Amino acid sequence: MAFKTRITELLEIEHPIVQGGMQGVGYAELASAVSNAGGLGTLTALTQPSPEALREEIERCRSMTDRPFAVNITVLPTILPPDYAGYARAAIDAGVKVIETAGTQQVREIWEMAKPHGIKILHKCTAVRHALSAERGGCDVISIDGFECAGHPGEDDIPGLILIPAAADKVKIPLLASGGIGDARGFLAALALGAEGVNMGTRFCATQEAPIHPNVKAKYVENDERGTNLIFRKFKNTARVGKNSVSDKVVEISNRPDATFEDIRPYVAGAVGRELLQSGDLDKGIFWAGMVQGLIHDIPTCQELIDSIIGGAEAIARERIGGMLV
């Protein structure tokens, strides 16, 4: 059996499971493994140092899978913005069929570049109003991101159990549920809430193919559902990261009445975060992690993970839920 939805048809994939774009993680090794397992793998554009390097990574991914994969381009406020248009052009020229976007209004420029080429736009939102705006802007899929998620959950603090059906009530294009999903139960619950697939980030970090240090993967298994910190709240740019000595320090400093972003910058710099992922030194910086850590108990291959989600969801629907019907 399989779950066929508008997501599987639109993205031309076997299972409605998407690997989210993750800085420092979304390389060809992981993206190709997810796609080969029947989901949609995602390369993270800004993980590459230049648009040309992204072109090369796309070709490397193509050498590892003959199935569709996406490229993520996330636009966030920064002092020295990268060449977003250059990264988008690299993906377009390489014939990528799906682009995942997130972030500020500047993503609309990427949509305008990509749409004439028939590229499907998957946009990540943390609020229903943003999802409706993206739908009006011509996006093809909305990934609705609940407060449980890793990364930037927005400032509304609405968990998936409310946010997913609230979005499904109003958005007409297909929805992916994102945040707090890591097993068959979450997958099936997302479908029941009105989504037509799921987008997972943290869970795919704890897989054999994720190109990060084993110490980081072990930390995802060790941490429970309380094992995250919310940082940048004071600066209206909330981010959820894994709980470690560094993120604890960032929270401590941020709680000081006179704290500024400059006080925490050395601890949250992207360079030290990337070093943590590669070296496994968990006292080096911060790492992205969602509350779903509490549901991660092993480090399977991507194939094993996706098979367990689909097979488990079928069993739950047939045996547990079916057995309750009178």
CATH dotted code for 6-212: 3.20.20.70
Q: pLDDT for 230-270, tens place per residue?
A: 999 988 889 999 999 999 999 999 999 999 999 999 999 88
Provide the residue ranges of all domains of the chain, joining segments of one domain with +. Answer: 6-212, 214-291
Contact predicate 124/102, CB 8 Å: yes
Mean predicted confidence (pLDDT) in 277-293: 96
Number of residues written out for the chain: 326
| pLDDT over 80 at 77, yes or no | no
User: What pTM was estimated for this model as a whole?
Assistant: 0.96
| pLDDT over 80 at 55, yes or no | yes
Report the pLDDT value the prediction gives residue 78, as an integer from 0 to 100. 75
Report the pLDDT value the prediction gives residue 227, as an integer from 0 to 100. 97
| Confidence tier at 121 by pLDDT (50, 70, 90) | very high
Average pLDDT along the chain: 96
Report the pLDDT value the prediction gives residue 2, as an integer from 0 to 100. 86
Report the pLDDT value the prediction gives residue 325, as an integer from 0 to 100. 83
Report the pLDDT value the prediction gives residue 139, as an integer from 0 to 100. 98
Mean predicted confidence (pLDDT) in 296-300: 98
Report the pLDDT value the prediction gives residue 317, as an integer from 0 to 100. 93
| pLDDT over 90 at 166, yes or no | yes
Report the pLDDT value the prediction gives residue 164, as an integer from 0 to 100. 98
| pLDDT over 80 at 300, yes or no | yes
Report the pLDDT value the prediction gives residue 274, as an integer from 0 to 100. 92
